[in-house]
Amino acid sequence: AREASVTRAVFAAAVFLAARAADHRTEPLNTLALAAGCLVAADPRSLVDPGFQLSFGATAGLLVGVPRLMRWVDRGEAPPRPGRPADRAPPAPAVRFLLVPAAGLLVATVCAELALFPIGALHFSRVTVAGLGLNFAAIPLMSVTQLAGMAAVGLAPVSAAAAEAAGWVAHAAAAGIVESTRVLAWAPWLSWRLPAPGPVAVAVYYAGWVIGLAADHGRRRRPAGASPARTVPDAGGFGNRVGAARWVGAALVLASAAAMLAAPIPGLAGRGAADACEPLPPATAGAKRLRVDFLDVDQADATLVRFPDGRSLLVDAAGQARGRADVGGRVVVPAVWALGVRRLDYLAITHGHPDHVGGAAAVLRDLRPREVWEGIPVPSSEPLAALRSGARTAGAAWRNVHAGHVERIGGVRVRALHPPAPDWERPRVRNDDSLVLDLRYGEVSIVLPGDIEAGVEAAVAAALDPAGRRVVKAPHHGSRSSSSATFVKALSPVLAVVSAGRDHAFRHPHREVVARYAAAGAVVLATGNEGAIAICTDGRGLAVSTHDGRRIAW
């Protein structure tokens, strides 16, 4: 956003100064449109850049909305018309000195927020109204920061002490801006998350504003020299048509905003990833399909399963082994929403390592699963204890799932292959205690093995049924400690998916693992290289699509 703002300002200033030099007056919106056009012509990709959209969207909202809303403010300040008594006494000068700038700041914030509402929801799955209050602190503090910073630069050659004092003021003001955002910690209701809207909802929202503003513009236009007062009947009904257009615009804005805030609606919710089922034969178009999306969550795991009957299962919630980034809230939840799932039916955590359970808090809060599955309990594990607590808060049923457990969901058999029911509680989380699930739909088997290693892979492979086609998520991110020759030979998969970060320090998947799967005849795809990977099956055929546009079918 910063680069787009600077570039926009440079282009806008250049257009304005060029017009002044040529003795031409320019409309601010025309200046902004020309600046945007120049940027898009230079780099068409900037049109879909969030920073570009935020920068130009906020500025357009200010240019279009502020003059119109400020007329209401000015109307309260204007003297009464001749021959008409004043409705109320004018405010005292001191009150007016404070209220008018405050009203202007509030109006500007409202205009910017309305302009950016769909953009924020689209790119960040978040809407906030905190700016309505925070700007009253942030904007004055930013002015102090800029003035004090410039003073520090100017004073540096003259007096180091004075420059240091000015720098301290600038630093204190900047720190105040940062601290003001902590209001969300004690007022979280000022910001809420929602699924990314689809193009239809966004288009309808902005179309409503265009219709309403165009009607307002037409209402305000009068022939030169005409009196503001209507002196002749509106025989053509122009005023009625303008009024109707304004109501239509308002209705479109409100309806699309409500659609974006409500549950996903076909055509209005985000389309998500490319349809993985497209490569399947057209003859199977009416068949119910199982879809599995391996999310791109760096060196972590999160797999979304959508069953033929519409129910959903998330296997692991990603996270970071080191670091405090909210991968669940920033990546997993928005991705699941974008794929059309507003609420989960099941959440399965294979084991309690941070890269599998770290994002569970956000998943429990925003996706509200009806059931949570766990393998072997580890009472000493803080992440798993937090998972249990979060499940209770979310009202989710808790189930311990072990080898032999079977669920039938929408025609898909979900069978746990590991771990066996424990005869004691584990003192610590272990990769080899991972919950392993086999999804069987018709002739197709999809194995999700968590982080199991070579020591238990043989037992898992022995528990598998023969399958016409098999897909496996490579255990432990494609580490050399997993995907043993025995395991790979027993599975004989047509596709191996590796959930691993690109250029990560662990360098997964290991080249020996890739070679082992390739020798068995499998296509090997890694999320770090391909992005999110989606597979789809009707129980006979199998198709895969990647975020980068790669498509394969069997």
Ordered by where they begin, the domains of the chain are: 2-80+90-221+237-261 (no CATH), 282-553 (3.60.15.10)
Q: Mean of the pLDDT values across residues 392-420?
A: 93
Among the listed residues 317, 305, 394, the one whose alpha carbon sits nearest the alpha carbon of residue 358: 317
Distance (Å, whole) CA 207 – CA 303: 37
At residue 496, the pLDDT reads 92
Helix axes 93-124, 199-220, angle to 10 degrees: 150
At residue 407, the pLDDT reads 95
At residue 15, the pLDDT reads 72
Which distant-in-sequence residues (6+ apart) come within 8 Å of 161 by Cβ? Answer: none
At residue 553, the pLDDT reads 82
Label residue 92 by pLDDT band (50, 70, 90): low
At residue 270, the pLDDT reads 42
At residue 370, the pLDDT reads 96
Among the listed residues 518, 510, 530, the one whose alpha carbon sits nearest the alpha carbon of residue 488: 518
At residue 529, the pLDDT reads 86
Label residue 235 by pLDDT band (50, 70, 90): very low
**Predicted confidence (pLDDT) at residue 311 exceeds the cutoff of 90:** yes
Maximum separation of any 2 CA atoms in the chain, in Å: 98
At residue 435, the pLDDT reads 94
Label residue 286 by pLDDT band (50, 70, 90): low
Which distant-in-sequence residues (6+ apart) come within 8 Å of 12 by Cβ? Answer: 31, 32, 35
pTM of the model: 0.71
At residue 54, the pLDDT reads 87
For CA atoms 166, 168, 171, 173, the dihedral sign is: negative
At residue 219, the pLDDT reads 61
**Predicted confidence (pLDDT) at residue 244 exceeds the cutoff of 90:** no
Pick from 100-104, 111-115, 217-221, 529-533: least confident: 217-221
**Predicted confidence (pLDDT) at residue 21 exceeds the cutoff of 90:** no
For residue 231, count other CB atoms closer than 10 A to its CB.
Answer: 6
Q: Name, of 96-100, 238-242, 259-263, 304-308, the range with top average pLDDT.
A: 304-308
Is the bond leading into 140 cis (omega within 30 degrees of zero)? no
3-class secondary-structure state, position 84: coil
Q: Mean of the pLDDT values across residues 248-253?
A: 86
Pick from 104-113, 270-279, 380-389, 542-551: least confident: 270-279
pLDDT of 442-500, one tens digit each?
999 999 999 998 888 988 988 888 888 899 999 998 888 888 998 999 899 999 999 88
**Predicted confidence (pLDDT) at residue 274 exceeds the cutoff of 50:** no
At residue 231, the pLDDT reads 46
pLDDT of 114-161, one tens digit each?
999 888 888 887 788 888 788 888 888 999 999 999 999 999 999 999
pLDDT of 44-62, one tens digit each?
888 888 888 888 888 888 8
At residue 345, the pLDDT reads 96
More confident residue, 433 or 269: 433
Long-range contacts formed by 503-511: CB under 8 A, 24+ apart: 503/528, 504/298, 504/299, 504/528, 506/299, 506/477, 506/479, 508/299, 508/477, 508/478, 508/479, 509/474, 509/477, 509/478, 509/479, 510/478, 510/479, 510/480
Q: What percent of the chain has pLDDT above 70?
A: 81
Burial of 44 (0-12, 13-18, 19+ CB in 10 A): exposed
Label residue 74 by pLDDT band (50, 70, 90): low
Q: How does the average pLDDT of the chain come out, rounded? A: 82
Q: What percent of the chain has pLDDT above 90?
A: 29
At residue 267, the pLDDT reads 40
Distance (Å, whole) CA 210 – CA 448: 49
Q: Mean of the pLDDT values across residues 403-407?
A: 93
Q: Which amino acid, 137? A: A
Among the listed residues 262, 337, 329, 325, the one whose alpha carbon sits nearest the alpha carbon of residue 293: 337
Pick from 159-168, 352-361, 372-381, 498-507: least confident: 498-507
Pick from 321-330, 409-418, 543-552: least confident: 321-330
Among the listed residues 351, 371, 518, the one whose alpha carbon sits nearest the alpha carbon of residue 437: 351
Label residue 383 by pLDDT band (50, 70, 90): confident
